Amino acid sequence: MKLSQRISGLLGDGSDGWEVFIKAREMIKDGIDVVELTIGEHDIRTAAPILQDMHKAAMGGHTGYAAVPGTDALRQTVAKRVQERTGVPTGPQNVLITPGGQAALFAAHMVACDAGETALYLDPFYATYPGTLRGVGAIPKAIETRAEDAFQPRTGDIDACAAGARSLLINTPNNPTGTVYSRETLEGIADVCKAHDLWLISDEVYDTQVWDGEHISPRALPDMAQRTLVVGSMSKSHAMTGSRCGWVVGPAEVIESLINLATHTTYGVAGFIQDASDFALNQGPAFEEDVAAPFRRRRALGQEILEHQSTVGLTPAQGAMYMMLDIRATGMSGEAFAYALLEAHHIAVMPGESFGAAAAGHIRVAMTIEDGAFVQALETLCEFANTLIV
């Protein structure tokens, strides 16, 4: 039987960029010890008090159908959090709870784009972005940022691609680069969106992981609240990746339409997951800082190592749980380097090419293993790179 073009064409003409990760997992299955610096999965697990609250909610009977838009309590808590962090008036009517940030990205583009319309996104990008856009029937169009700009987008590049487009997807703090978009960058993006009547979809799942600068939600910029949809998630801020709880924040009339979408697709998020998420968010900023602390610490450790060698370059790691390393001095592509490193030292990293053309000649290192092991792996990586210099 023939599959729909929407599904068979989800990856376009290329791959999904996960080949090195898959090979590393196959090696592990074969009993080979592999140091995984690939995916954004905390080395800590969801905190015991959150799990205890989740268990309490489930045992208390919150296991049936939950309210499709999200529970009143969680929507109110998310709205309060967003308003406190951005200063933008936000109520529960501005919030839809979704099964993770990925579902929120899909929903936001479903409401923003009709089939056949162009949806813009920035390169480098999180690996699922192009497939998500194709999945809603949009035509994905990448706008490359530049390593020499530390991957800060240029307003002129976006403006040159914006005519006739319907939406623009951004991500700050950025995965994979660790770049935190400056106020100047975001104001330029906002100007383009207003000039070309674009929906701005802002993926802010790393907003609690900022090491340099500040996180600015573009929804807080002048005249942007009515054209911005913000994607958030419990995954990174509270180490709840498997719980699949996220949200879309936007204009009330948009959220009403997205409730209709959720009714016909996900039919909401499990009530006990929402109760635990509400509990977690109410632990406050100090709890979120504790979850982020290992990455702040390892970022400092990594910078110290990289400062004492000259082969591997570092894009300023301003936020998120990754370091984007420039290995072009080796003469290898990011993909070739990643395969060679895996073969020689059983260290798995993500090729920059997995995240778009703009990251060619780079690798992404996830700071997601214990400090000592992270230091040892990064030192080995740098020594290996140095051996490749002719």
pLDDT tens digits, 332-370: 999 999 999 999 999 999 999 999 999 999 999 999 999
pLDDT band at 318 (very low <50, low <70, confident <90, very high): very high
Q: pLDDT confidence of 12, banded at 50, 70, 90?
A: confident
Is 5-45+286-387 assigned to CATH 3.90.1150.10?
yes
Average pLDDT, the chain: 96
What are the φ/ψ torsions at residue 98 (nearest 5 degrees)?
-130, 165
Q: What is the reported pTM?
A: 0.95
Band (pLDDT 50/70/90 cuts) for residue 16 is low
Q: For 65-283, CATH number? A: 3.40.640.10
* Cα dihedral 205, 156, 132, 6 in deg (nearest 10): 170
The domain segmentation of the chain, as residue ranges, is 5-45+286-387, 65-283
CA-based nearest residue to 207, from 252, 187, 186, 237: 237
If residue 140 lies in a helix (H) or strand (E), which one and from where to where? strand 139-144
| Chain mean position to CA 347 | 23
Task: Report the percentage of the chain scoring pLDDT > 70.
Answer: 98
In this prediction, residues 159-164 reach a mean pLDDT of: 98
Reply yes or no on whether the pLDDT at 169 is more than 80.
Answer: yes
Residue 13 has pLDDT above 80, yes or no: no
DSSP state string for 327-376: -GGGT--HHHHHHHHHHHH-EEEEEGGGG-GGGTTEEEEE--S-HHHHHH
Distance CA 152, CA 122 (A): 10
Q: What is the pLDDT of residues 41-59, one digit of tens each?
A: 999 999 999 999 999 999 9
| pLDDT tens per residue across span 210-245 | 999 999 999 999 999 999 999 999 999 999 999 999
Whether residue 129 has pLDDT greater than 80: yes
Q: What is the pLDDT of residues 236-261, one digit of tens each?
A: 999 999 999 999 999 999 999 999 99
Q: Which residue type is seen at 3?
A: L
pLDDT value of residue 10 = 87
Quick one: pLDDT at residue 9? 87
C-alpha 84/C-alpha 275 separation (Å) is 21
Tokens of 112: 């923003």
How sure is the predictor about 11, in pLDDT bands with cuts at 50, 70 and 90?
confident
CA-to-CA distance for 92 and 71, rounded, in angstroms? 10
